[in-house]
Structure 1
Amino acid sequence: MRTSAPPRKRRRPPKSDWQFPGLTGMGLKPQQQRLLVIIGTVAAVVLAATGLVAILTNLGSGASAPPLPAGDDPPPGQARPAEFQGWVSPKLFAPIADRGQDAKPLTAKELFGGAKTLAVSKKVSLKLAAQDLTPSCATVTWGRELIEQVSAAGCSQAARGLYVSSDQRYIAQYTVLNLRDVKAADELVQSLKTLYLGGWVQPLPYDKVPFPSHGHTEGAAYALGHYVGLVWLARADGAERGAKDDFSALGLALRAVEKPLYRRIVAITGPGTS
C-alpha cells in the first residue's frame, strides 16, 4: 500500500533587503521602497553639498555688512562706522528748514567757541583738540555716492570738531553739513542708513590721539532743519565698546555742538517760542 508523501512546505521568498517596516506598512513594494531610498539619498547629498557651498562662501564674513560698491573702499588709514543710526529733522527745526530763512554762514567760532570742553560725567569730559570749516564738502567726505549726494544737496559748508576725552580713552568728532533745505537733509540721513557702508566723513588729523583707522567706531546722523550733524565715536585704542564704555553719554555730550543751531531758531522766531 502506497503511502502518500507529506505535503512539501512552500518556500518563502527571501526577504528583500529593501523592505522597511514603516514603508511596508504604507503598502509600498520592495522595488518602490528601493526607489524611494535612492531618491532620498540623492536629495540628501545635494542638500549637503549646497550647505557646504554656502558655508564656504560665507566663511570669514561673519555678520558683517554687505560688500562695498566698487571704488568705495575707505581711503587708506580711514574707517567707517561699524554701527550707525539716523534721525530725520524734528518739527522744532522748522524755522530753519530752508537756507533762505537762515542765510548767514556758520563760523567755527560760533560752533566750537563755546564748546571747547564738554562734560560727559563727573570724572570725564571731552576737550576740543582740532577744528576746521570749509566750503568744500567733498574734501571732508569719501565715497563716490556720498560725495555726489552731498553735492546735489547744495552743501555749502562742512565744519568738523575733533574731541579727546580727559582720560585719553575716547575720541569723538562732530561734523556739521550746511545743506540747501530740510528735504535734502532728511534724504541724506535716510540714505546714510545704508550709504555709510561705502561713504563717510574723514577724521580730522590729530597726532597725539589719532582716530582709529581699523578699529571699532560708531556713527549717527541727525537732520536739524537744513543742517545735518554727524556724530562719530570710538575708543582711542580702537577696541569694541565694553560694559564700562558709555557711548550714549559721549554722544549726548558731543551734541552740545548743536546749541548754536537752537540759537538761530530763537533769532528767527523770537525768545520763548522754541
Structure 2
Amino acid sequence: MIEARDTGASQASRPKGGQDLRPEDRDGPRRRAKSSGSRTPVIIVAAVVVVLAVAGAAAFFLLGGDEEKESAAPGNGARLTPVAYTPQMADKDMAKLAQRAADQRPITQGEAFPADVKTVAYQKYSFSLAASQLAGDCKAVTWGQRLQGDLAKYQCSQIARGAYVSQDRKHVGQFVAINLASQEGAEQIVRDLDPATGAGFVYPLTAPGTPDFHAGFSAAYAQAYGHYAIVTWVQRAGGVQPASLNEMIDASLAIEKPADFVWGRLELVDGTPR
C-alpha cells in the first residue's frame, strides 16, 4: 500500500506511519501499463479535502524560513518540501534493472526528455515542458546533509529534472530521475525524500517566464525503479491549496511520462520487448 503523508498536519492528527488515503478508481499511469500482467497498478489517495491547519503551518512548507532561502545554483528554486508525500519501493518487475552494472550507459538529455514528453496529459490536465536539465553533480541540485550523504554513498551519477507548466498556467510540476548504483540506493533515497525525515530534497528546476514552485501546498510521489529513483512533484501555481489530493495525483500522472525511459532500459537489459 502506498502512503500519502500530509506532512503539514500535526503529529497528533496524523496516524502513525502516515495516513492512508484511497482514491477514486482511475486509469493507471503509462509506465504502469507497460509492466507485466502480474503487476497490479495502484495509486492510493483519497478524494478528500485537504485542510491546512493554520497560517503558522507554513513553517512546514519551507524549512527554516528565510534563512533557508540561500542563494541557489542557477536553475534551482528555493528549498522546499512537499506537504503530501507518497513513497513506493521497487517491485519484482525491476529485478533485472536493480544494478547499474547491468545498465551502465548514462542517461542522455534526449532519452529522458524526447519529443513525445514536450507536451503531456492525463484526464483534464495538460502540461508543456518549460525547461529540462541533466546534472552530473548530484549535490548541486539537492539540499540537505543527510540526503547528499546518501547520494554520495549510493553513487549518484546523474539527476535529470524537468519543469512543467499546465496549459492554463494553474499548475506546475517537476519530474526528477535519480541514477544510483543500485536498487538499494534508490530505495534509500525514496525514504530520505520523505519530509518527515528532514533529510533534504531536490531543488525544483526554474524556467524563465513560468511560475516557480512556492511555499504552500504541494504533493510528491516517489518510487524506486531498479537503480533509479523517480519523483513527480506537483503544485497549484503559487502554492494554493487544492480541492483534494485527487487533483494532485491526476496532475502528477501527466508529468510522469518521462519515466518511460526506464522501461526502455529494462527492455534492453531484459532482452524481451514489453
TM-score, structure 1 normalization? 0.70
Deviation at 1:94, TM superposition (A): 0.9
Distance 1:204 1:162, change over 3 A: same
Which residue pairs with 1:132 in the alignment? 133
Task: Give the CA deviation at 1:199.
Answer: 1.2
Counterparts of residues 250-269 of structure 1 (less than 5 Å)? 250-269=251-270
Deviations 1:84-143 (A, max 9, x none): 11111111111110000000100111011131111123x531110000001100011011
- Any stretches of 5+ residues in structure 1 without a counterpart? 1-58
Partner of residue 143, structure 2: 142
The aligned counterpart of 2:182 is 181
Contact 1:81 1:196 in 2 (8 A): no
Matches within 5 A, 1:222-233: 222-233=223-234
Structure 1 segment 151-166 matched on structure 2, within 5 A: 151-166=152-167
Q: Distance in 2 between matches of 1:268 and 1:67?
A: 40
Percent identity reads 29
Question: Which deviates more, 174-183 or 249-258?
Answer: 249-258
Change (3 A) 1:205 1:62: closer
Q: Provide, for residues 198-251 of structure 1, a one-character-per-residue CA deviation record: whole Å limited to 9, x for no partner.
A: 511111122322323222211121111000011110011220112597211111
For 2:99 and 2:70, the matched residues in 1 are separated by 33
Name the aligned partner's letter for residue 213 of structure 1.
Answer: H
Matches within 5 A, 1:30-45: none
Distance 1:94 1:242 in 2: 38
Q: 1:245 to 1:87 in 2, by over 3 A?
A: closer
Shift of 1:259: 0.6
> What residue ranges of structure 2 are gaps of 5+ in the alignment?
1-53, 72-77
Partner of 2:117: 115
- Taking the aligned partners of 1:150 and 1:195, their CA distance within structure 2 comes to 18
- SS state of the match for residue 85, structure 2? strand
Letter of the 2:97 partner, please give it. Answer: I
Please give the per-residue CA displacement for 1:164-214, whole angstroms capped at 9, x wherever unaligned: 111111100011110010011112212333456451111112232232322
SS at the partner of 2:139?
A: helix
- Following the alignment from structure 2 to structure 1, what is the Cα–Cα distance between the partners of residues 62 and 163? 29
2:154 maps to a residue whose letter is: A
TM-score when scaled to structure 2? 0.70
Amino acid at match of 2:228: Y
Alignment of 1:85-100 (within 5 A): 85-100=86-101
Q: Which residue of structure 2 aligns with residue 170 of structure 1?
A: 171
SS at match of 1:237: helix
Aligned counterparts of 1:196 and 1:74: Cα–Cα separation in 2: 20
The match for 1:205 is 206
Rg larger in structure: 1
Q: CA RMSD in A?
A: 2.9
